[in-house]
């Protein structure tokens, strides 16, 4: 199968994009295709696959698959790339438009001109804080804020936030000491998160900046995670470490995102989106 693709990334969090307006795809091979394109040796190499598709619910739709083939419900870096692609390829005509995700619609605004969009702002909507909607098990408090969380021989304080996808946020004193490779994969699959979880470690720098590292559900360590950056700012404010209505610079491994959680409870994300390459993926499907 000859699959036309465009590889794009948000701060190094890369995906292979398929424009379903031009190239219809079959539901039953998407998971396998995500694994195939993400493979750096036999595929193209990415953190996963993203479909840009027609939808009656919004101007364009986005579906995201991690590099293990699992489908995510939202993807902040992916949304900025979808917005750039949709505007540059005239799938939309206004600079502000809606994008449907499995977690609901968001509103994107592109900055630049038709030939080259460099930065995108996304209204990510309201965070979800109720335990059972994260989802996370447990009988205690309605929300999960600074809740004792023991894993292996670590006694951590957990704050859980959903941006349509689940995030477990932990504060550390020095980001370079975050137990990302040891605890990331363990917490990702912890039974207290029935749908798995993205795992973030953050270090407060000052009242406007945090350092951030992530182990993503379904993809492992990535250079950046847009929904994770949003969840981390929300978690920092819930814990009294940052304030609402202030633009927070989140220093991710791949670069900076600018996040605001405003007093209307809306989370705003602003950052770059870049195109790497486009071409044809010659795929020998395992029938
Ligand atoms: N691994 C995530 C999806 C990708 C999110 C991330 N790449 C972002 O930019 O938000 C999940 O399974 O929920």
Q: Where are the domains of the chain?
A: 2-124+272-282, 131-265
How large is the average pLDDT for residues 50-76? 98
pLDDT for residue 286: 77
Is 206 known to sit in a ligand binding site?
no
Kindly give the residue spans of alpha helices, DSSP state H, lying in the chain.
30-38, 76-88, 180-188, 226-238
CA of 115 to the centre of ligand 1 (A): 28
Give yes or no on whether 2-124+272-282 and 131-265 have one common fold.
yes
Extract the tokens encoding 100: 């449907």
How large is the average pLDDT for residues 272-276? 98
Residue bearing the CA closest to ligand 1, atom 12: 72
Percentages of the chain per state (helix, strand, coil), in multiples of 5: 20, 45, 40
CA of 65 to the centre of ligand 1 (A): 9
What's the CA gap between 43 and 243, in Å, rounded?
43
How large is the average pLDDT for residues 259-263? 98
Residue bearing the CA closest to ligand 1, atom 4: 75
Does 182 have pLDDT greater than 80? yes
- CATH number for 2-124+272-282 (one of 3.40.50.720, 3.40.228.10, 3.90.180.10, 3.10.310.10): it is 3.10.310.10
Is 73 buried (19+), middle (13-18) or exposed (0-12) by CB count in 10 A?
A: middle
Is 245 known to sit in a ligand binding site?
no
**Mean pLDDT computed over every residue of the chain:** 97
202-259 pLDDT, tens per residue?
999 999 999 999 999 999 999 999 999 999 999 999 999 999 999 999 999 999 999 9
Binned at pLDDT 50, 70 and 90, residue 285 comes out as confident
Is 192 buried (19+), middle (13-18) or exposed (0-12) by CB count in 10 A?
A: middle
* Closest C-alpha to 158, from 181, 136, 189: 136
Closest-lying ligand 1 atom to the alpha carbon of residue 219: 1
Q: Among 62, 164, 219, which is best to mutate for testing ligand 1, by the most ligand atoms less than 8 A from CB? A: 219
Q: Which helix (H) or strand (E) segment is 149 a member of?
A: strand 147-151
Q: Which of 64, 156, 161, 225 is catalytic?
A: 225
ipTM score over 0.95, yes or no? yes
For residue 241, what is the DSSP state?
S
pLDDT for residue 163: 98
Concerning whether 225 is annotated as a catalytic residue, the answer is: yes
Count of Cβ atoms closer than 10 Å to residue 260 Cβ? 17
Q: Which of 75, 128, 129, 242 is catalytic?
A: 75
pLDDT for residue 287: 65
86-115 pLDDT, tens per residue?
999 999 999 999 999 999 999 999 999 999
pTM recorded for the entire structure: 0.98
Is 165 known to sit in a ligand binding site?
yes
Beta partners for residue 267, in sequence order: 261
Is 80 known to sit in a ligand binding site?
no
Closest-lying ligand 1 atom to the alpha carbon of residue 66: 1
Please state which CATH number belongs to domain 131-265: 3.10.310.10
Concerning whether 81 is annotated as a catalytic residue, the answer is: no
Count of Cβ atoms closer than 10 Å to residue 202 Cβ? 27
């Amino acid at each position: 199968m000859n699959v036309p693709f465009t590889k794009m990334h948000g701060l190094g969090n890369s995906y292979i994009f398929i424009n379903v307006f031009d190239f219809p795809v079959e539901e039953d091979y998407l998971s396998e295709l995500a694994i195939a394109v993400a493979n750096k040796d036999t595929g193209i190499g990415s953190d996963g696959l993203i479909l840009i598709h027609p939808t009656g619910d919004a101007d364009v739709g986005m579906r995201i698959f991690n590099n293990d083939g699992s489908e995510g419900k939202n993807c902040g870096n992916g949304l900025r790339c979808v917005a750039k692609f949709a505007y540059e390829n005239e799938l939309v005509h206004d600079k502000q438009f809606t994008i449907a995700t499995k977690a609901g619609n968001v509103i994107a605004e592109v900055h630049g001109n038709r030939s080259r969009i460099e930065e995108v702002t996304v209204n990510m909507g309201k965070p979800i804080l109720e335990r059972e909607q994260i989802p996370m098990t447990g009988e205690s408090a309605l929300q999960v804020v600074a809740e004792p969380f023991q894993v292996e021989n670590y006694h951590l304080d957990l704050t859980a936030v959903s941006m349509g996808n689940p995030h477990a946020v932990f504060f550390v004193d020095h980001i370079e000491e975050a137990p990302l490779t040891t605890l990331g994969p363990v917490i990702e699959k912890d039974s207290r998160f029935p749908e798995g979880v993205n795992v973030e470690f953050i270090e407060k720098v000052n009242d406007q900046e945090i350092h951030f590292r992530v182990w993503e559900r379904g993809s492992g360590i990535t250079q950046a995670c847009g929904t994770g950056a949003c969840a981390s700012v929300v978690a920092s404010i819930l814990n009294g470490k940052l304030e609402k209505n202030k633009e927070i610079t989140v220093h991710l491994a791949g670069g900076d995102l600018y996040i605001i959680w405003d007093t209307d409870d809306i989370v705003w994300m602003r950052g770059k989106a870049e195109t790497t390459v486009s071409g044809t993926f010659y795929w020998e499907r395992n029938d």
